[in-house]
Chains A and B, each alone.
Chain A
Amino acid sequence: GAGVSQSPSNKVTEKGKDVELRCDPISGHTALYWYRQSLGQGLEFLIYFQGNSAPDKSGLPSDRFSAERTGGSVSTLTIQRTQQEDSAVYLCASSLPGQGRYYGYTFGSGTRLTVV
């Protein structure tokens, strides 16, 4: 696609429910990143994919968080048993392999998750 697409743009869920957030990167961008931004805060790294593998999962805050990527394209971030502290904007970014660190990332518009 022309840009990084994230869905849904907004999600309100009840505490304890599972949610899935989707990211569709730019075609050909094999590097994909998930970040989380809590209200008024900077971006917190969650996970990095190169193709379908995730060489860096160091930012996932707990085992309730998981992510997968299929076909080297679409990625899904799943949060199980959501808690109120999971409320944040979840941002996805993509880049050509190895290029993001030199030319920058392209970000999606994010999913605003609210856990009530």
Chain B
Amino acid sequence: SQQGEEDPQALSIQEGENATMNCSYKTSINNLQWYRQNSGRGLVHLILIRSNEREKHSGRLRVTLDTSKKSSSLLITASRAADTASYFCATDALTGGGNKLTFGTGTQLKVEL
């Protein structure tokens, strides 16, 4: 079963606007990662935030983590049509997860010109 749940399931915005996606998870984690998937194929690693971090930036991406609420958000600023993709959060469980990441259900982002 999927640990993470992304919200919203789908998001449509205009180019230049900001896009915010949220992820909730259930167990204690070591870290949380965000991935991007184009056209239902391979995923690309975007950014990782550790459990002792609250916010992290990479280019136009900003990730926040609230371990007390077991939630994370991914903000894409000044969106572009090329940002159109599905975005997934993935968690590394603190215990019992083995060496695997558990992925959420994803947010489909569409950026329109």
Q: How far is the CB of B81 from chain A (nearest CB, A)?
A: 22
Is A55 an interface residue when CB atoms closer than 8 A count as contact? yes
Contact B45 A104 (CB under 8 A): yes
Also in contact, A91 and B99, with CB within 8 A (given A41-B105, A42-B2): no
A-B interface contact total, Cβ < 8 Å: 73
Is B24 among interface residues, defined by CB-CB distance under 8 A? Answer: no
The reply to whether A105 and B101 form a contact with Cβ atoms under 8 Å apart is yes
State whether A48 and B99 are in contact (beta carbons under 8 Å apart), knowing that A42-B106, A101-B92, A104-B48 are contacts in the complex. Answer: yes
Contact assessment for B44 and A42 in the assembled complex, using a CB-CB cutoff below 8 Å: no
Pair B33/A104 contact, Cβ less than 8 Å: yes
Least CB separation from A103: chain B residue:
B48
Q: For the complex, what is the distance from the CA of A79 to the CA of B61, rounded to whole Å?
A: 39
Is B77 close to A, CB under 8 A?
A: no
Flag if A48 contacts B45 (CB, 8 Å).
no
- The bracket for how many chain A residues form the interface is 20 to 34
The interface residues of chain B lying within 8 Å CB-to-CB of A42 are 2, 4, 88, 103-106
Question: Shortest CB–CB separation between residue B4 and chain A, in angstroms?
Answer: 7
Chain A residues lying within 8 Å of B90, measured Cβ to Cβ, are: 43
Q: Provide a sorted-by-A list of 28 A–B residue pairs whose CB atoms are within 8 angstroms.
A: A33-B100, A33-B101, A35-B103, A37-B40, A42-B2, A42-B104, A44-B2, A55-B99, A56-B98, A56-B100, A58-B98, A59-B100, A89-B41, A98-B99, A101-B31, A101-B92, A101-B101, A102-B48, A102-B92, A104-B35, A104-B48, A105-B45, A107-B35, A107-B43, A107-B44, A109-B41, A110-B41, A112-B40
Give B contacts to A, CB under 8 Å. 2, 4, 30-31, 33, 35, 40-45, 48, 88, 90, 92, 98-106
6 closest A-B pairs by beta carbon, nearest first, are A104-B45, A43-B103, A101-B92, A107-B42, A42-B105, A109-B42
